[in-house]
Amino acid sequence: MSSLTNEENTIILESIRNIPDFPKPGIMFKDISTLLGNPKAHNILMTHLENRYKSYNLDYIAGIDARGFIFGAVLADRLGIGFVPVRKKGKLPYTTVAEKYSLEYGFDEVEIHIDAFGDNGLNTEGNPSQVLLIDDLIATGGTAKAAASLIDKVGAHCVEACFILELGFLNGKEGIKAPVYSVLEID
């Protein structure tokens, strides 16, 4: 399994822009649009993820709405497997399964199509589809926990949850039943 060199780590981290006080005072927003616009940093990241996951025998990548779509779709293409969007409630046109999660003030929901990972979540061999969950950032972890639960709820198996950036001081990965891998961690 490959790991990033210190230089590669620095290139990726420095390509992520910090925006203070967004979306509210006291929050340092990590803007990945600058990473996406940096071909060198983006290629280093995607090559690293491709090398990490090529031996996992995955059937699908599930990307969390909306930035997880970007990394998930590119990685699924590189691995030659399917991509499934985990959407916010009301965005998918077919029969869905939903999972609620807590926000600071209230609740939200994510959903997937009931057949997103094959009939009853089974792959062509009749086994639970092996799914990697991916998103750009994990903070408090509510959305990721709900998304991982959805994967299992439809009969597939969440092999791992992957994040480009983890805000470790928020302990967001606690409670995710699948193993968690973060490319970069900020404490």
Q: Which of 50, 67, 78, 109 is catalytic?
A: 67
**Residue ranges in 54-177 assigned as alpha helix (H):** 67-79, 142-153
Q: Which of 8, 52, 104, 174 is catalytic?
A: 104
* DSSP H or E run through 163: strand 157-167
Give the pair of three-digit tokens for residue 33: 């649009």
Distance CA 164, CA 45 (A): 8
Is position 87 annotated as part of the catalytic site? no
Task: Return the CA Rg of the chain.
Answer: 16
Is position 67 annotated as part of the catalytic site? yes
**In b/e form, how buried is each residue of 150-180, taking b as 16+ CB within 10 angstroms?**
bbeebebbbbbbbbbbbbeeeebbeebebeb
Distance CA 109, CA 79 (A): 29
Query: What residues act catalytically?
Result: 67, 104
